[in-house]
């Protein structure tokens, strides 16, 4: 399988690295020091599940150099989504699958508005992985199901079955969902609650030990679930009962690492989307608005003070 990893961050580097180890033909798109390190020393993945592996892999800052591919593993930050989707158009043939793995509920639809309908499928990644230093991906935590895949219209197709089989051969805990929208929103509920770890700069365990902050996390997630149901998504009735207490004590949202590094935040994709959709559907979202508004000054990167 010819694979293009569009965005070799934590998720793209982890999934793409395992696919390359399994013998798939994988090209990694990166830039700057990260690209130079991969070219010079290879891509290193330090995984809690798979141990450490270093792979000599093709790496580029020009996606079209990969030619037409079978799969685009799409992992760029969501604020760069449309420009990145434009860059992969030369790589998309009639049978190409584009699989977005980053946070958010509408990435596949946004990609298809750029490259055309029929290529994107839904993807839900549930794991913690990040770029520790140029050329090095650290994978810390994941459960048995790391990546859930599904057709946007819910119709079963051989292509997604083949994709899941390839992911499983690579050692990725993969599953096929008959309703990927439910899986996307289930993750979205939790990840929006985890924005409190970005806001407070504290891991979830500390927040859950404080009754007031634990209550705030619950209220944030209840609002997200209410918006989902207003959008016609059939979340399980008792889904929220395991949240937020089900989070690992050490877990932090990936956006936290962007905040402390002074990078741009995917805030609009997360709690900002909840606020926007709440207004569209008439669902009140005051707690998400408070979290969103408090982080908004950091959305474009570290604000200048004084």
The Cα 305–Cα 268 span in angstroms is 22
Check if the beta carbon of residue 106 is closer than 8 Å to that of residue 132. no
In this prediction, residue 67 carries a pLDDT of: 97
Q: What is the 3-state secondary structure (H, E, C) of the chain?
A: CEEEEECCCHHHHHHHHHHHHCCCEEEEECCHHHHHHHHHHCEEEEECCCEEEEECCCEECCHHHHCCEEEEEECCCHHHHHHHHHHHHHHEEEEEEEEECCCCCCHHHHHHHHHCCCCECEEEEEEEEEEEECCEEEEEEEEEEEEEEECCCCCCCHHHHHHHHHHHHCCCCEEECCCHHHHHHHHHHHHHHCHHHHHHCCCHHHHHCCHHHHHHHHHHHHHHHHHHHHCCCCCCCCHHHHCCCCCCCCCCCHHHHHHHCCCCCCCCCCHHHHHHHHHHHCCCCHHHHHHHHHHHHHCCCCCCCC
According to CATH, the topology of domain 2-178 is Rossmann fold (3.40.50)
Check if the beta carbon of residue 127 is closer than 8 Å to that of residue 34. no
Domain ranges, ordered by start, for the chain: 2-178, 183-298
Check if the beta carbon of residue 63 is closer than 8 Å to that of residue 38. no
In this prediction, residue 260 carries a pLDDT of: 96
The Cα 101–Cα 176 span in angstroms is 14
In this prediction, residue 181 carries a pLDDT of: 95
pTM for this predicted structure: 0.93
In this prediction, residue 239 carries a pLDDT of: 76
Could you list the pLDDT tens digit for every one of the 306 residues in the chain? 999 999 999 999 999 999 999 999 999 999 999 999 999 999 999 998 899 999 999 999 999 999 999 999 999 999 999 999 999 999 999 999 999 999 999 999 999 999 999 999 999 998 889 999 999 999 986 677 899 999 999 998 999 999 999 999 999 999 999 999 999 999 999 999 999 999 999 999 999 999 999 999 999 999 999 999 999 998 987 777 777 777 888 889 989 999 999 999 999 999 999 999 999 999 999 999 999 999 999 999 999 987
The Cα 201–Cα 217 span in angstroms is 14
CATH architecture assigned to 183-298? Orthogonal Bundle (1.10)
**Nearest one of 110, 145, 144, 93 to 124, comparing CA atoms:** 145
Phi, psi of 213 (to 5 degrees): -70, -35
User: Residue 71 is encoded by which pair of tokens?
Assistant: 């799969």
């Amino acid at each position: 399988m010819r694979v293009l990893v569009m965005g070799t961050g934590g998720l793209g580097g982890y999934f793409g690295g395992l696919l390359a180890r399994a013998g798939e033909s994988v090209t990694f798109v990166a830039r700057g020091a990260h690209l130079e390190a991969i070219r010079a020393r290879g891509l290193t993945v330090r995984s809690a599940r798979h141990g450490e592996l270093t792979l000599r892999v093709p790496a580029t800052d020009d996606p079209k150099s990969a030619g037409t591919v079978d799969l685009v593993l799409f992992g760029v930050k969501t604020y760069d989504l449309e420009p990145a989707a434009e860059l992969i158009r030369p790589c998309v043939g009639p049978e190409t699958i584009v699989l977005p793995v980053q946070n958010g509920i509408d990435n596949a639809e946004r990609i298809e508005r750029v490259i055309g309908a029929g290529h994107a499928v839904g993807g839900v990644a549930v794991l913690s992985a990040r770029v520790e230093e140029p050329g090095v991906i650290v994978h810390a935590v994941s459960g048995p199901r790391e990546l859930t895949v599904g057709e946007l219209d819910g119709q079963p197709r051989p292509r997604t079955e083949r994709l899941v089989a390839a992911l499983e051969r690579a050692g990725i805990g993969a599953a096929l969902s008959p309703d990927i929208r439910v899986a996307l929103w289930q993750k979205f509920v939790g990840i929006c609650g985890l924005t409190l770890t970005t806001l407070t700069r504290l891991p979830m365990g500390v927040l859950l030990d404080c009754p007031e902050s634990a209550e705030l996390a619950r209220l944030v997630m209840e609002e997200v679930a209410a918006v989902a149901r207003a959008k016609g998504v059939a979340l399980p009735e008792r889904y929220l009962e395991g949240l937020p207490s089900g989070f690992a004590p050490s877990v932090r949202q990936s956006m936290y690492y962007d905040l402390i590094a002074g990078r741009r935040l995917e805030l609009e994709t997360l709690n900002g989307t909840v606020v926007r959709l709440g207004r569209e559907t008439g669902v009140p979202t005051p707690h998400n608005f408070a979290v969103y508004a408090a982080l908004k000054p950091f959305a474009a990167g570290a604000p200048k003070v004084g």
